[in-house]
Structure 1
Amino acid sequence: MAELLDISHVRLTKRPLIVCDIDEVVLEFLTPFRDFLRSRGHDLLPRSFRLHGNIVHLNSGEAIADDLVSALQEEFFLRQAEWQMPAELAVETLAELAGEADIVFLTAMPPRHATVRRALLDRFSLDYPLLASEEAKGPIVKRLQAGRAVPFAFIDDIWRNLHSVREHAPDCLLVNLMVNADFRALAPDPGEGISKAGDWTDVAQIVRAHISR
C-alpha cells in the first residue's frame, strides 16, 4: 500500500480553503519551458494539448523521442528557478485572497523537486504551504478539507485533476485556469460544473462569490 502524502505541516484555520495548482496557474510553465527547450535546440509547438509529440528538433521539426521529453522535463524542473515567473496578477490576487481564506499549493511534480520549488515560490512572497505529489489530487484535497463545514475551492489547469477532486470532494468549487493562451485554446472542455477563468481577475471573482456565501 502506497504511503500517504505527509500533510502534517499544513495548518488550517476555520476560514475557507483554497487549494491551488502551480504550473500554468500560479507560475508560468509552458512559455518558459518553450524558451528552455529552444536553448537546448528544441521547440514546443502548440499543435495539440500535450507535450509528447509536440516537442521537436529546432532544425528538422521532427518530434523527439518520449524518453528525451522526460529527460528535458526533469532538467527543467531542476533549473526552474532560472526560468519560471509568476503568472500575471497571481501574486497580488493570492495575497488579497489570503486575507479571506487559507491557501495551500498542490503541485503535480516529483517530490524530489519540492525544495527547489519552495525556494522559487518564497522568492516571490508566495509563502503558502506547498504539497508536491504525483498522486491523484482528489484524495489529497479531501484530506485537507477533512469534513470541515467551510467553503473550499480548487484551481487547476488540467481536467483530470479537476475531475479527481469532483469525485472525492463533490462540494468543492472547481476552477479551470491555464495562463498560456495558445495551449488554453487547445485544451479539452473541462465539463459541466467547472468554472472557467481566463485570468486571475476572473479567479478572484469566482472564488470570492463562493467563499463569501
Structure 2
Amino acid sequence: MLTDIDHITVKDRPLIVCDVDDVVLQFATPFEAFLATRGHRLLPRSFKLTGNIVSGTDDRVLEAPFVKALIDDFFVEQERWQTPFADAVDSLHALGAEADLVFLTAMPPRHAEIRRRLLDQMALTFPMIATEAAKGPMVAKLHGERPLPVAFVDDMVHNLHSVGDHVPSCLLVYLPPPLEIFQFAPDPHETVRRVENWPQASKLIRSHFTAQDVASHG
C-alpha cells in the first residue's frame, strides 16, 4: 500500500510532491554518526556513498555490498537517528493547508512502514510513497492531466530532471542540505530553482501557485 499511488486521492487543488531524506528528515549527518558506531567514517571526496565510506581503523574503502548493508541497517534504525530540518515541519503543515502534499521517498519498500511511523511521530501525516523507481513517472501519474499547479521538492538533481522531463509544468525546487558532500553534486538544469531552506522553498512554491492561478484566470 505504501509503495504505489493507489491509496492516494488528490483533491481539486494544487499538489506538492516532496522527497524525505535530506529534505524533510536529516540523513547524511545522522548516517555519519551511525557509521561511527560501526567503526567507519565517511570521507566526502565525491558525490556518492560507495567509495567514500572507509574503515575507521585503516581507511580501507568499504565495498559496495557492505555499504548497501550499512544503509539498510540505518533505515531499520531510522527512528533512533533521523530528525527533521529546521522549519520543515511547520512549513509543510502551512503548505498542506493550501495544497495536497505527498511524500515520495526514495528507499527500499521494505522500510516503508518504519518511515511511515517515523513521519507520523513528527505529525507529518501526509500520504507517502516509498519506491526506488524513477520519480518523474510517479509524479506524472499523481498529477495526471489536472490543470492545477504542481511543485516537486528534492535534493537530488537527477530526480528533479526526471520530474521535469515527465511533468513540464512542474515547479522544480532544489533543496540540498548544507553539507560538504553536496559541493560535488552536479549542477541542475536552468529550469530548476535552488533554495537554501524551507522558508525560501515555501515562498517560491506559493509564488508559483499564485502565478499559475492568475494565468488560468487571465
Query: TM-score w.r.t. structure 2 length?
Result: 0.93
Equivalent in the alignment of 1:204: 202
Whether 1:25 and 2:23 are equivalent positions in the alignment is yes
Segment drifting more, 176-185 vs 66-75: 176-185
CA contact (8 A) 1:28 1:180 kept: no
Query: How far apart, CA to CA, are the structure 2 residues paired with 1:60 and 1:91?
Result: 40
Query: How far apart, CA to CA, are the structure 1 residues paired with 2:31 and 2:82?
Result: 8
The structural deviation recorded for 1:61 is 1.7
The structural deviation recorded for 1:206 is 1.1
The structural deviation recorded for 1:183 is 2.3
Give the alignment partner of residue 127 of structure 2, picking from 118, 126, 129.
129
Whether 1:193 and 2:210 are equivalent positions in the alignment is no
Equivalent in the alignment of 1:174: 172
Structure 2 runs not aligned, ≥5 long = 212-218
The structural deviation recorded for 1:138 is 0.4
Whether 1:70 and 2:62 are equivalent positions in the alignment is no
CA contact (8 A) 2:4 2:130 kept: no
CA deviation string 1:90-122 (max 9, x = no partner): 001001111111100001111111000000000
The structural deviation recorded for 1:62 is 2.0
Q: Percent identity?
A: 49
CA deviation string 1:64-85 (max 9, x = no partner): 1111101101101111111000
- Partner SS state of residue 58, structure 2: coil
Equivalent in the alignment of 1:149: 147
Query: How far apart, CA to CA, are the structure 2 residues paired with 1:202 and 1:53?
Result: 33
Segment drifting more, 56-65 vs 69-78: 56-65
Equivalent in the alignment of 1:107: 105
Query: How far apart, CA to CA, are the structure 2 residues paired with 1:82 and 1:159?
Result: 28
Whether 1:51 and 2:49 are equivalent positions in the alignment is yes
CA contact (8 A) 1:24 1:180 kept: no
Structure 1 runs not aligned, ≥5 long = none
CA contact (8 A) 1:30 1:180 kept: no
Query: How far apart, CA to CA, are the structure 1 residues paired with 2:150 and 2:191?
Result: 15
CA deviation string 1:107-143 (max 9, x = no partner): 1111111000000000000100000111100000000
The structural deviation recorded for 1:32 is 0.5
Query: How far apart, CA to CA, are the structure 1 residues paired with 2:199 and 2:4?
Result: 32
Residue identity opposite 1:153 in structure 2? A
Query: How far apart, CA to CA, are the structure 2 residues paired with 1:99 and 1:173?
Result: 19
Query: TM-score w.r.t. structure 1 length?
Result: 0.95
Query: How far apart, CA to CA, are the structure 2 residues paired with 1:37 and 1:180?
Result: 19
Q: Give runs of ≥4 in structure 1 deviating > 3 Å.
A: none
CA deviation string 1:35-63 (max 9, x = no partner): 00000000112221110111011121221
Equivalent in the alignment of 2:216: none
Query: How far apart, CA to CA, are the structure 2 residues paired with 1:48 and 1:197?
Result: 22
Query: How far apart, CA to CA, are the structure 2 residues paired with 1:191 and 1:63?
Result: 32
CA contact (8 A) 2:14 2:150 kept: yes
Query: How far apart, CA to CA, are the structure 2 residues paired with 1:98 and 1:181?
Result: 27
